[in-house]
Amino acid sequence: MNSLVKEFSDLTLERFLRYVRYWTSSDRSIEKTPSSEGQWELAKALMDELKALGINDITLTDNCYLVARIPASAGKEDSPVIGFLAHLDTSSDVSGKDVKPVLIESYDGRPINLNGGMVLDPSVDSGLASHKGKAIVHCDGTTLLGADDKAGIAAIMGAAEYLVNHPEIKRGAVEIIFTPDEETGKGLPHFPLSLLKSKACYTLDGGQLGELEIECFNAWGVNVEFTGKSMHLGTSRGTMVNAALMAAVYAGMLPRSESPESTDGYYGYYCPLEIQGDIEKAKLDVFIRDFKKDGAERRLAALESFGKAVEAQFPGGKVTLNAKIHYLNMKEKILLKPQVLEKLREAYVNLEIEIHEMPVRGGTDGACLTEMGIPTPNVFTGGRNYHSRLEWLSVEEMAAASSLVVELVKLWA
């Protein structure tokens, strides 16, 4: 490990191990922002930490958006303001309560046995295999780890401390943005855009070293409601309409070949997330994802046709769809401001990081911020196997992400 990576490892690792212990799982069934109290706890802790670094231009909004600004160096007040963004919450797909991170300072290259019979196996995880002799952090198998996106938070906070401690580095003003409820797919409701001065921003919410992402899905959430008719089961022939069965039949119409587990690359999908109900009322939540708008629109039309088909099978039943845009593909608007990408690619080259440009098979708050007028590509943090009990983090790659933040600050100044 070279001296620079070692320095940034020291700035990020302890923070990461501390941040993942905050229970910040978000809840997409709750409309308010933030959807969990733990996000408040982490946001307030980060605000205190920023103040301790001597950063005083800080706002924590009523909806848990944290925006801080490191002032420009003398003579650089007119340099463009740039921002760095990460999200406070973790996915609710796997428990994020009582996370017990396990640090291995020099991984020996052998399988790692976790609780519940789960195994981190380098024979099936090439990224893990490549980390023999390096420091990694993994979860114990009872929860996720939370590298998505606490590795991004740690990288930004480590870079902030580095910049404060190295006033000789000339910089324009730097904005630090931490957002709630990214994992719920809400987008950025209540985002305090008027607080930002950034001309460009970068999310730290990616995976392996070198990832650079400027395009993402067009994302929709669809709530499908089924209305049936309840009758006594003993006398229900020809009269009862079972909404729970309607929901099950509808879910079975979603193409298995167009599901998350059956697609990769630029292929979109339908994903049923949750189904619940009884004879009178049932509900199915479906995510639609596609890199092209017309592909997303085709899937929306298909969901409408599935509803009509179910109504035909269940006379007297009713299927109602409520669709909402979560975020749109950010590529087109990022390309309108080529300097944002030019600086990013230059930073990778300067740090001798090989660029792996790829689409985000998901979304980031950067897509929403881009839609609001601030181009926001996404970069790596060093995490792997997000949203799972097999999640792990490369300490060296998280440190590299932190050094990338500093390099971007230098280039923009």
Per-residue pLDDT, averaged over 188-203, amounts to: 95
Contact 365, 83 (CB under 8 A): no
- Distance, CA of 202 to CA of 232 (rounded, Å): 58
β-strands 174-179, 82-87 pairing: parallel
Q: Which CATH number fits domain 220-327: 3.40.50.720, 3.30.70.360, 3.40.980.10, 3.40.50.300?
A: 3.30.70.360
Whether the predicted pLDDT of 1 surpasses 60? no
Question: What is the structure's pLDDT at 361?
Answer: 86
Residue from 361, 359, 343, 413 nearest 72 by CA = 413
Indicate the pLDDT class of residue 2, thresholds 50, 70 and 90: low
CA distances from 256 to 219, 269, 271, 296 (A): 19, 9, 9, 16
Place of tokens 């944002």: 340
3-class secondary structure, 86: strand
List active site positions.
89, 182
Whether the predicted pLDDT of 185 surpasses 90? no
Q: Do the domains 3-216+329-412 and 220-327 sit in the same CATH topology, yes or no?
A: no
pLDDT digits (tens, 9 = 90+) for 273-331: 999 999 999 999 999 999 999 999 999 999 999 999 999 999 999 999 999 988 889 99
Question: What is the structure's pLDDT at 318?
Answer: 98
Number of H helices, E strands in the chain: 10, 18
Higher pLDDT, 186 or 189: 189
- Distance, CA of 141 to CA of 113 (rounded, Å): 9
Q: What value, to the nearest 5°, has the Cα angle with vertex 25 and ends 22 and 28?
A: 155
Residues 6+ apart with CB under 8 A from 125: 384, 385
* DSSP secondary structure letter of residue 85: E
Q: DSSP string spanning 361-373?
A: SS--HHHHHHHTT
Give this prediction's pTM: 0.88
Residue from 397, 363, 400 nearest 87 by CA = 363
Question: What is the structure's pLDDT at 8?
Answer: 97
For residue 104, which phi and psi values (nearest 5 degrees)?
-115, 110
Tokens linked to 150:
């606490």
- Break the chain into its structural domains and give their ranges: 3-216+329-412, 220-327
CA distances from 386 to 92, 117, 133 (A): 11, 19, 22
Per-residue pLDDT, averaged over 378-399, amounts to: 97
Per-residue pLDDT, averaged over 14-37, amounts to: 96
Topology of domain 3-216+329-412, per CATH?
Answer: Aminopeptidase (3.40.630)
pLDDT digits (tens, 9 = 90+) for 203-253: 999 999 999 999 989 999 999 999 999 999 999 999 999 999 999 999 999
Whether the predicted pLDDT of 196 surpasses 60? yes
pLDDT digits (tens, 9 = 90+) for 102-144: 999 999 999 999 999 999 999 999 999 999 999 999 999 999 9
Indicate the pLDDT class of residue 91, thresholds 50, 70 and 90: very high
Indicate the pLDDT class of residue 362, thresholds 50, 70 and 90: confident
